[in-house]
Structure 1
Amino acid sequence: MVAQVTKPSYEAKTQAIASTLLGATREKRSIFAQMRDQMRWDDKLLAFAMSNPGLRVQLFRFIDALPALSSKPEIARHMQEYLADDSVELPGALKNLLNFTSPDSVPGQIAASTVAPAVETLANRYISGETIEQAIKTVERLRKDRMTFTMDLLGEAVITETEAEAYLNRYLELMEQMTAAAKRWNTVDQIDVADGQTLSKVQVSVKLTAFYSQFDPLDEQGTRDKVGQHVRTLLRRSEALGVAVHFDMEQYRYKDLTLAILKDILMEDEFRQRDNLGITLQAYLKDSYSDLQDVIDWAKQRGTPLTVRLVKGAYWDQETITSLQNDWPSPVYSQKISTDANFERMTRLLMENHEVLYAAIGSHNVRSQAHAMAIAEELNIPRRRIELQVLYGMADKLGRALVEQGYRVRVYCPYGELIPGMAYLIRRLLENTANTSFLRQNLEERPTAELLAAPEFAAEDAGQGSVGAREQGSKRAVPFHNVADTDYSLTDHRVEATAALQSVRQQLGQRYAPLIDGERVNTEAHFESVNPSNPKELVGKVGLASQEQADRAIAAAKAAFPAWQATPAKERAAILRRAADLMEAHRHELNAWIVLEVGKPLREADPEVSEAIDFFRYYADEMERLDRGVAYDYPGETNRYRYFPRGTVVVISPWNFPLAIATGMTVAALVTGNCALLKPAENSSVIAAKLAEILVEAGIPKGVFQFVPAKGSTVGAHMVQHPDVHMIIFTGSKEVGCRIYAEAAQLRPGQKHLKRVVAEMGGKNAIIVDESADLDQAVQGVVKSAFGYSGQKCSACSRVIVLESIYDTFINRVVEATRSLNVGPAEHPGTKVGPIVDATAQARIQEYIEQGKQEAHLALQMPAPDNGYFVGPTVFTDVAPDAVIAQEEIFGPVLAVIKANTFDEAIVIANGTDYGLTGGLFSRTPSHIERAQAEFAVGNLYINRGITGAIVSRQPFGGFKMSGVGSKAGGPDYLLQFLDPRHVSENVQRQGFAPIEGAD
């Protein structure tokens, strides 16, 4: 365990100051006694949340949805759906309020009229005003109490460049209006003057991610350029007005790039002499202490001090969940006490370097503030070099107590409309009601010694600095542990990606031959695979097998089958795991091949490699499970249920997931004891050849796996019809899939089995957005699902069905969000929409766009580069549900927006196609979510998230209707399709006796 983080000389003074502050903040009665006696419903809602964890979750979900609800009956209905749940124990006051039969009834109206204003009142506790005029009045009241402020514009998500420009302009306007108001403010020495220096009366806090809608660490230079333009504009105007500017810190993935951008800009001659600027560090991050050390070194070079606002961090839950979902190391300390301990050691480091950095200590923890004050007094730090900060509406008594101690106290004041401020409000409510919150513990009057004890790092967090943050993986109990995608917020990973792309580019143009019976064979014909971002660039030449060579491959598979079938499942699984390790070792190179051969941007290519690795390991695990079989024993009789492979499997893989799908289908056949012939799509054959190399290196015997690139219309069709083929597994178009299904059903001469076909044939996938949806979330989810990999995913969103009441608002935002996407070569790190795979696909999509222009309103058609196979993202609105572009799979970046009058109609429209693959719903209405789960006829339904990117084991993938036939890939019953079950029953009774289990 890490030793106590405070020096004894600081500790005694810390305890003395903290005791004084604590006495000033203590109420005469506990918060629960106060809540019982008060009639204010905003207070009651907080009390309910504190007393019942189950209610807390549902209550905050309701509060999150409330601003989107437009009528009292809607509010009343959502109250009942969220809060009148049998699993939630309701306090009597709330139970009585919800005791109405209809949302339209008078009691329902009363309930809505009671709770909605209470939530608004609650929000107003933490938000300094919905308008600038209200915010000015708030800060003027603060100044009368000798407190200064920093103003933050509410709004969590900037998802369009229009919104990014508006964000900048609103801050420019805010600074102008605040400065104008400040001219009439009298000088308050405690906050406006320090050590003989006049300080800025106005300060604003800004977020870098809001200056660029495509802010992305992977696109480091592009993000620097875009953000830098706006930051410089803001800094120039702030200097002219005499306004101080502070830069906030956000999610962990943005931290390193945020610091890098600020260090560069604030070192420029134009801004280097300014000391009224600041940056933020978050103590809950494991690498924040080393970040502070780096900032100190940088500040010494800069020569002019700036402020570091030290906070504990507001995204702990989000960071923890994100790391678990992505199988990344958690960047945050696991225990609140560790954050407190780190905060104190960072406070000490910061303040002991007060000559190069000013300290702004942001905390509502009495001990944390007292510790800073103790250091300041012990070191006699000038008052210009330290200030104490609190959030508006929280720890008001602490703020006043700090003022009485003579410190400059700054209040962080968010302002803006309630809907964009809802995420901020929820964070404040979570903080106020958390069991570990100092505010809550103080209100509960925990013992003084307990509240003021020096924090120590928890055992599980001890010794975890930046190395621990990146090397210690997230641990969770799951049946299958997925491999982690690459975290491109880390510089090392970006460097590796760039190096791999350069290395692979040196290997372009090579020849790849079919692998038949363990030998590479020459071919008369070949296919030239080119880079769709630049068709003049040859990726590779792939030999195309002839019909005679395909027959040899099938014969070799037939000969190899008996030995492979007899190979123990554990040995087959071991080969797959070796292949997974090889693939993981070559991840960056495989990413590069995917980028160059099929035009998939890096951030889309990397998860595909993860999926392929997961298929190896998951199917290895699954085969070992199935190989154990099932035993049903009865007296005198044993029964064994076991699985056996079918024989020869032809795998016909697509180009859009050239590695993941090819891997999944092929290794499912192999691990089950079948022999596999891989026939990839021609335009992704080089990537398939790389898969073949990995399988051979991993130890797959010759004849068991064979790489048979060939023309699908001739040799591919011949293999489908061959009598020695037992199974065809296919992913591709509905037209080809249906033809394979029909041909495989024909019994050929010499054939002694019926062929099995597993086919995935695409979709016409819809997302429903209802009136209660979080529109930030919905727009982002739709745009990513529709235009990720240029819409060339079978799971892509090609229809979005929007309820009438929010239709116009949604269209405006989705069009602007689409317009903000970067279209360009797949290898460029800033590209969000790359090329179409080839000229034929490009022409087909363009034909559909022309069809759409006849059927609907063209809301947006983005320009696209003309030196590759590009189609700009296209959005059609006012699309009829039965229009061609709403019914046929386009397989490109074309989105049809359809209006629905009711949720019932939206479900009907969503189900009104031949397909049933994926679907999505954005809603905060529990009954709509429940109905979608029961009525939305798709194989994979995604709620309040994008509809692409299924993860092996967690989200088994596959559909029905004309989207395909067969079990879900990456699921527990997928391998059963490659196996024939056999049952053996043995009579073990001999001459009247039989083994009896458990007998002596």
Structure 2
Amino acid sequence: MSSTVTSLDERTKEYGREIFARLNRQGPVLFTRAWVEDKLMGLGMHDPALKVQLFRFVDTLPYLKEPKEVARHLREYLNEAKDELPWWVRLGTKLIPDRGILGQGLAFASQKGAEQMARKFIAGSNVQEAVAAVHQMRTRRLAFTIDLLGEATITEVEADHVQKQYLDLLAGLTREVNDWPEEPTIDRDDRGPIPRVNVSVKLSALFSQFDPIDPAGTSRAVCRRLRPILSLAKQTGAFVNFDMEQHSFKDVTLQIFRDILTEPEFRDWPHVGIAIQAYLTDTEADLHALLAWARDVRKCPVWIRLVKGAYWDYETVVAAQNHWPVPVFTKKWQSDANFEKLTEFLLANVEWLVPAFGSHNIRSISHALAVAEKLGVPPRRYEFQMLYGMADPIKEAIQSLGHRVRIYTPYGQLLPGMAYLVRRLLENSSNDSFLRQGFAEGLAEELLLTNPASNAERGTRNAEPKDTNGTHDMGSAGHAVVEAHGSQAPRSAFKNEPLTDFSVAASRTAMSAALDQVRKELGRTYPIVIDNKPQPVGAVLARENPSRKSEVLGKVGMATVDQANRAVASCLAAFDGWRDTPLAERTGLLRRLAEQFRKRRFELSAWIVLETGKPWRESDADVAEAIDFCEYYAVEMEKLGAPQARDVPGEDNRYFYEPRGVAVVIAPWNFPLAILAGMATAALVAGNTVVLKPAEQSGIIGAKLMECLQAAGAPPGVVNFLPGDGDVIGPPLVQHPDVALIAFTGSLKVALLINEQASKTPGGQNFVKKVIAEMGGKNAVIVDSDADLDEAVKGVVDSAFGYGGQKCSAGSRAIVLDGIYDQFLNRLVEATKSLAVKAADDPGCSLGPVIDAEARDRILKFIEAGKRESRLAHQTDLGALAEQGYFVPPTIFADVPETAGVAQEEIFGPVLSVLRARDLDDALRIANGTKYALTGGCYSRSPSHLEKVKRKFRVGNLYINRKCTGALVDRQPFGGFKLSGIGSKAGGPDYLLQFVLPRTITENQMRRGFAPETAAGE
């Protein structure tokens, strides 16, 4: 280590020792409220199980209206971890009353206690209380920045309300604060006066459809509401800081920041800033870009609030779920070291990037002081920021050194602010919290002041407890979880294909380019393919873009009955050879097919967008699922392909599987690549030959699959491509005596007809056909009275209207408990109004067209019937879209009778029925009261209710506290029962068993009383 670094590090430690020496370590007075709060916090700090359950309770508490519900939830949460709780907590759990005076008293005490705890971290619930809080802070010579708390913005009405709140806040604060006497220590820097009023803005709160997949549309919508806020702030002499949220929002947030502050009105306004998170691995590059922009383009400085980052758990979990690169540093010392590195960069460029260091970590603060001293940066040029209600002794110590301290001050209603409160509580009690290490546990000062980079030099994983990486050095113990998970051996060789991350600019560019390229190929004719040879084209079906029905995409050949018979004959001729092909070659075909899909991923996604009207993400997920089926079925067949030996002395026994024969695969259009490829590859890898029959509405995508199969090396006759009219070629295929298996996904009516026809054994057929059929659903999502409405409303909207409700898994019924019904319905309607109904190729599309005119007309008939049976709560006005393509308005019916047609029949469109239930048992009865049993969901935060739902909600795929669509291969094998399916779950360990027949071969090894030795006989 160089002497310069050594001297800087030593100066850092000197500052740190001085800060520690100035700390007021005197605790609160015995038996005061502050003393009780500290003791309760201490219990949570030293008992992780108790901490988690209590904080879950605090998070749920505002939704509980009855004393008995308060008592029940508290008891349930504590009982969930009863084996890990202290004895006195287990004893107390048994004494929690349900009702009566004691129950009411407990509920009152719990609610008041949570409110008092919230007051510790939340400055007030309205502008007047916020003014009082900041006035009190000014008496202590503390500056402030106000953070507006609120529910997640999921409707445009809410976005408008958030804008009004910001405007009211600015007007109210500046009117009061600017008239107060000047406090030079916080109202001036080394260059003169600075704004007294400082407001932090979350951009995602200003647009309900905030989405990085559409940065241009997101920016337009956000800026429309942001400009008046910035204008008022500039007019009234206030400061505005742009908060930073999750990583996927980072680039669009930076883009909006740069775009709007380059506009003439704001270009020369210096009183703006943005939060930058040091735990992100790409933050250094972002700061370099911001410097170049501020210096060379804007030519006016901006402030940078440097924080560690508040979403560490979220980022690591999302990355793990999607198999994306983890965007954050995975060890505490890395985040701390990067914070110091970025601190040096900012202090070296204070003329353009003015620093505000958001940290409670004395090492980080001391390092900033030492660097500023070394570079000669005036002490008033930069400032330190800390959280309201936390680390007051550190604030006072920094003040005593003559530095400006600004308090990040949340204000808002308790209910919307509860998520913030819980995060602060978790941070304050985390194993990794600097405050806990330094105050509650009394870690040695010298250890707390250790240079984080020394961990890298020593090659250690982590010299101190793993970091929370919270906004100001707080957060979660998530590092331990990730590292432990990373050390576990994988359960199998299969891993889901990562979805495309459209927050990455390169992904958006690739998708746009693919759409442009595909449009250059419009008008082609796609023939039938038998024996790997294109057949002469006779009748064709023109395929049109459902988003723009005047746009013809191409023409697909329509098979005749004769061609159907020839396709079966070709498959039969190829069967023996393919059956006896080594397993490694069959699995190799699937893996090569997966590589074809990867190679052509954006092209295939673009075709899905255009031919079936799927938005970008849905189309990309379709291709990813097709890849998953290839890889997963290859792995599963390798497991099935090894014969089982059950030998005894003198006798060898082998149990193995062989294919059934010719398989006819009849697929739907709603997952035009994934389902067609999934059923076909399952049949192929098991050794069957396949007649590939795509839906008429997705024939081009079927042709693209055939192209990929041929490129992957599918031998002639092993798979034949047979597009055509299902009414014409369907019955001959199903009834053909040489067809051994039919794999079908589609409507109930057709599935039952296929099952009936296939059950017959005409002359010449010496086997019973196997039918595998997935037939749809009428899926319900139950919303409990304690549900998180932010999550429940969004989940129901996504489940009901994702891909226009054209999924068999779509949540077409919302069954809502009476206590929360009206509140839920109001937000649901507004959230649905806020959806962007557009052509599917527009990246900002929330909901596109339905597949064709026939589907549109059928759905509209259901809607008209629903108006007679129920109350129409909302129907979106489509405007010109109604003529442009096959669009159906998102429609919500309320107060729907459980026997109504819209509550019983699968509509396959953007129609949602909302039903009222008395209680959970009533909701379960209604949910189970259809002929289907495919998917279902439940939003609840009651452990006992969730256990009941798991036992009694009888569906194939049940989703808890998430949307009821989006099953992934292997993670959530997909399929139902009752009239939702015949057979096992696609993408699951049993699925391939349907495509094979088991055989046993027994061989006697005895010869004249002599037998070879066997392992079983030893």
Work out the CA distance in 1 between the residues paired with 2:144 and 2:311: 23
1:350 aligns with 2:346: yes
Work out the CA distance in 2 between the residues paired with 1:712 and 1:331: 48
Say which SS state the counterpart of residue 84 (structure 2) adopts: coil
Q: Residues 35, 830 of structure 1: CA spacing in aligned structure 2 closer, same or farther, 3 A cutoff?
A: farther
1:767 aligns with 2:781: yes
Work out the CA distance in 1 between the residues paired with 2:67 and 2:1009: 79
1:923 aligns with 2:940: yes
| Aligned amino acid, residue 620 of structure 1 | A
Paired residues of 1:633 and 1:639 also in contact (CA < 8 A): yes
Pick one of 693, 700, 705 that aligns with 1:686.
Answer: 700
| Aligned amino acid, residue 387 of structure 2 | L
Pick one of 581, 596, 599 that aligns with 1:582.
Answer: 596
Work out the CA distance in 1 between the residues paired with 2:973 and 2:734: 26
Superposed CA RMSD in Å reads: 2.1
Instruction: Identify which range, 377-386 or 708-717, moves more after superposition.
Output: 377-386
Paired residues of 1:35 and 1:43 also in contact (CA < 8 A): no
Q: Residues 792, 388 of structure 1: CA spacing in aligned structure 2 closer, same or farther, 3 A cutoff?
A: same
Pick one of 746, 770, 776 that aligns with 1:732.
Answer: 746
Which runs of 5 or more residues in structure 1 are unaligned?
A: 463-471
Say which SS state the counterpart of residue 739 (structure 2) adopts: coil
Pick one of 76, 87, 92 that aligns with 2:71.
Answer: 76
Say which SS state the counterpart of residue 165 (structure 1) adopts: helix
Once the two structures are superposed, residues 869-908 of structure 1 have per-residue CA deviations (whole angstroms, 9 ceiling, x without a partner) of 0011011111111111000011000000001111110000
Say which SS state the counterpart of residue 999 (structure 2) adopts: strand
Pick one of 446, 452, 460 that aligns with 1:449.
Answer: 446
Name the residue aligned to 2:405.
Answer: 409
Once the two structures are superposed, residues 671-707 of structure 1 have per-residue CA deviations (whole angstroms, 9 ceiling, x without a partner) of 0000010111101000010001101110111111110
Pick one of 949, 957, 968 that aligns with 1:932.
Answer: 949
Work out the CA distance in 2 between the residues paired with 1:631 and 1:688: 41
Q: Residues 555, 130 of structure 1: CA spacing in aligned structure 2 closer, same or farther, 3 A cutoff?
A: same
1:167 aligns with 2:181: no
Pick one of 85, 92, 97 that aligns with 1:90.
Answer: 85
Work out the CA distance in 2 between the residues paired with 1:546 and 1:53: 68
Name the residue aligned to 1:789.
Answer: 803
1:260 aligns with 2:255: yes
Say which SS state the counterpart of residue 488 (structure 1) adopts: coil
Work out the CA distance in 2 between the residues paired with 1:85 and 1:779: 27
1:882 aligns with 2:921: no
Name the residue aligned to 1:468.
Answer: none
**Per-residue deviation, 1:997:** 4.3
1:49 aligns with 2:22: no
Paired residues of 2:200 and 2:240 also in contact (CA < 8 A): yes
Q: Residues 23, 72 of structure 1: CA spacing in aligned structure 2 closer, same or farther, 3 A cutoff?
A: farther
Paired residues of 2:82 and 2:90 also in contact (CA < 8 A): no
Q: Residues 475, 498 of structure 1: CA spacing in aligned structure 2 closer, same or farther, 3 A cutoff?
A: farther
Which runs of 5 or more residues in structure 2 are unaligned?
A: 463-482
Q: Residues 460, 906 of structure 1: CA spacing in aligned structure 2 closer, same or farther, 3 A cutoff?
A: farther
Paired residues of 1:678 and 1:707 also in contact (CA < 8 A): yes
Q: Residues 993, 50 of structure 1: CA spacing in aligned structure 2 closer, same or farther, 3 A cutoff?
A: farther
Work out the CA distance in 1 between the residues paired with 2:674 and 2:734: 22
**Per-residue deviation, 1:107:** 5.0
Paired residues of 2:190 and 2:381 also in contact (CA < 8 A): no
Alignment of 1:838-853 (within 5 A): 838-853=852-867
Instruction: Identify which range, 399-408 or 373-382, moves more after superposition.
Output: 373-382
Paired residues of 1:6 and 1:454 also in contact (CA < 8 A): no
Once the two structures are superposed, residues 910-964 of structure 1 have per-residue CA deviations (whole angstroms, 9 ceiling, x without a partner) of 0011100000000001111111111101100001001111100001000111111
Once the two structures are superposed, residues 433-467 of structure 1 have per-residue CA deviations (whole angstroms, 9 ceiling, x without a partner) of 222211110021111111000012656999xxxxx
1:12 aligns with 2:10: yes
Pick one of 823, 827, 835 that aligns with 2:841.
Answer: 827
**Percent pairwise identity:** 50
Alignment of 1:551-950 (within 5 A): 551-864=565-878, 865=881, 866-950=883-967
Say which SS state the counterpart of residue 213 (structure 2) adopts: helix
Count of aligned pairs between the two proteins = 986
Name the residue aligned to 1:312.
Answer: 308
Work out the CA distance in 1 between the residues paired with 2:487 and 2:589: 26
Paired residues of 1:42 and 1:119 also in contact (CA < 8 A): no
Q: Residues 547, 892 of structure 1: CA spacing in aligned structure 2 closer, same or farther, 3 A cutoff?
A: same
Work out the CA distance in 1 between the residues paired with 2:986 and 2:101: 52
Name the residue aligned to 1:524.
Answer: 538
Work out the CA distance in 2 between the residues paired with 1:236 and 1:6: 46
Work out the CA distance in 1 between the residues paired with 2:742 and 2:670: 19
| Aligned amino acid, residue 58 of structure 2 | I
**Per-residue deviation, 1:155:** 2.1
Say which SS state the counterpart of residue 442 (structure 2) adopts: coil
Paired residues of 2:178 and 2:196 also in contact (CA < 8 A): no
| Aligned amino acid, residue 861 of structure 2 | E
Paired residues of 2:647 and 2:1014 also in contact (CA < 8 A): no
1:365 aligns with 2:357: no
Q: Residues 574, 41 of structure 1: CA spacing in aligned structure 2 closer, same or farther, 3 A cutoff?
A: farther
Work out the CA distance in 2 between the residues paired with 1:672 and 1:282: 50
Q: Residues 460, 541 of structure 1: CA spacing in aligned structure 2 closer, same or farther, 3 A cutoff?
A: farther
**Per-residue deviation, 1:978:** 0.2
Say which SS state the counterpart of residue 129 (structure 1) adopts: coil
Pick one of 265, 276, 281 that aligns with 1:281.
Answer: 276
Name the residue aligned to 2:429.
Answer: 433
Instruction: Identify which range, 411-420 or 977-986, moves more after superposition.
Output: 977-986
Work out the CA distance in 1 between the residues paired with 2:927 and 2:63: 23
TM-score of the superposed pair, with normalisation by structure 1: 0.96
Work out the CA distance in 1 between the residues paired with 2:1003 and 2:178: 98
**Per-residue deviation, 1:87:** 5.0
Q: Residues 47, 556 of structure 1: CA spacing in aligned structure 2 closer, same or farther, 3 A cutoff?
A: same
Q: Residues 364, 987 of structure 1: CA spacing in aligned structure 2 closer, same or farther, 3 A cutoff?
A: same
Paired residues of 2:593 and 2:712 also in contact (CA < 8 A): yes
Name the residue aligned to 1:424.
Answer: 420
| Aligned amino acid, residue 422 of structure 1 | M
Once the two structures are superposed, residues 53-79 of structure 1 have per-residue CA deviations (whole angstroms, 9 ceiling, x without a partner) of 233332222222111111221111111
Say which SS state the counterpart of residue 257 (structure 1) adopts: helix
| Aligned amino acid, residue 425 of structure 1 | L
Say which SS state the counterpart of residue 657 (structure 1) adopts: coil
Paired residues of 1:645 and 1:673 also in contact (CA < 8 A): yes
Instruction: Identify which range, 866-875 or 309-318, moves more after superposition.
Output: 866-875
Work out the CA distance in 1 between the residues paired with 2:3 and 2:73: 48
Name the residue aligned to 2:973.
Answer: 956
Name the residue aligned to 1:467.
Answer: none
TM-score of the superposed pair, with normalisation by structure 2: 0.94
| Aligned amino acid, residue 607 of structure 1 | A
Work out the CA distance in 1 between the residues paired with 2:461 and 2:176: 47
Work out the CA distance in 1 between the residues paired with 2:432 and 2:333: 9
Say which SS state the counterpart of residue 84 (structure 1) adopts: helix
**Per-residue deviation, 1:771:** 0.8
**Per-residue deviation, 1:232:** 1.2
| Aligned amino acid, residue 496 of structure 2 | N
Work out the CA distance in 1 between the residues paired with 2:757 and 2:689: 21
Work out the CA distance in 2 between the residues paired with 1:460 and 1:747: 71
Say which SS state the counterpart of residue 426 (structure 2) adopts: helix
Work out the CA distance in 1 between the residues paired with 2:179 and 2:254: 36
